Each structure stands twice: as C-alpha cells, then as structure tokens.
Amino acid sequence: MAYGEFKFLIAQSSYNSLSQKISFKWTSLERRKLRPLLQFDSVGDEVLTLSGETYRSPDVPEPRDIYRRLRERGLRGEAEVLVDQLGIYWGKWVMEDLDIKSADIDVDSIPRRCDFTMSLKYYG
C-alpha cells in the first residue's frame, strides 16, 4: 500500500492490520402511537486504521526515521492518494492520527522496534 509517496514495505515499515469504518446517517421521524421511522440521509465519514511495526535492520538502522517522514506528511495538511498493492486506487485520504510507540530500546537509545497505528479519513 502507498499513501502519497510513502510506501509500506515488508523490508521497512509493514502494516499487519487494516480496519475500515464507514458511518451512515439516518433521521428519525416521529409517528403518533408508533415507533419512529428511520430515513436514510447520507453516507458519513469513512476511516481506515492501519497498524503494524518496523524492526531495526541493516535496511532500517533507525526505525523512527520512517515515522518522521509520515509525521511530516501529516503536518502538511494535504490529502494524499491511497493505492493498494494491487494498484487499486482508493481515492484521496487525509491523516487524522499517527500513534508511534518505540520498544526494545538499546543502550544508544535507539529502538529495535517501533509499533504504529495510523488513521486516515476519506477526503474525496
């Protein structure tokens, strides 16, 4: 999967979980002596959540650098194109959240593993 120019690669930063949440908006219409009737209004927000990890390796001497690049993309405040590994275009998405957790810190204060969770909201 690629978010803009950032590619999730097995050798660097891979995601192992992808969840998708779509909300739908309904209006409740009150009726006398009957239960309310629901009427469909529109599709609400669609949010993707990717979770995964990066391990320190010869290809990735400092796992936090990968997430610094992702953070910079989020700070731009721009929608990015999302394309999966099959080349399917998912549309434009904005980064809503990025949570990074460093683990297995070595004596040089460099983590051997970084876990991440990233939420993307559909832009259009």
Q: Which CATH architecture does the domain made up of 2-26+40-122 adopt? A: Beta Barrel (2.40)
The two three-digit tokens of residue 94, written as one number: 């904005």
Look at residue 8 and tell me whether its pLDDT is greater than 80: no
**CA dist., res. 110 & res. 6, Å (int):** 22
Using CA atoms, how far apart are residues 21 and 7, in angstroms rounded to an integer?
A: 22
Q: Which residue from 56, 52, 49, 62 is spatially nearest to 21, judged by alpha carbons?
A: 49
Domain boundaries, the chain: 2-26+40-122
Q: Which residues contact 89 (CB under 8 A, 6 or more apart)?
A: 81, 82, 83
d(CA 110, CA 102): 9
More confident residue, 17 or 93: 93
pTM to 2 decimal places: 0.78
Looking at the chain, the whole-number percentage of residues with pLDDT higher than 90 is: 48
pLDDT in tens, 84-99: 888 999 999 999 999 9
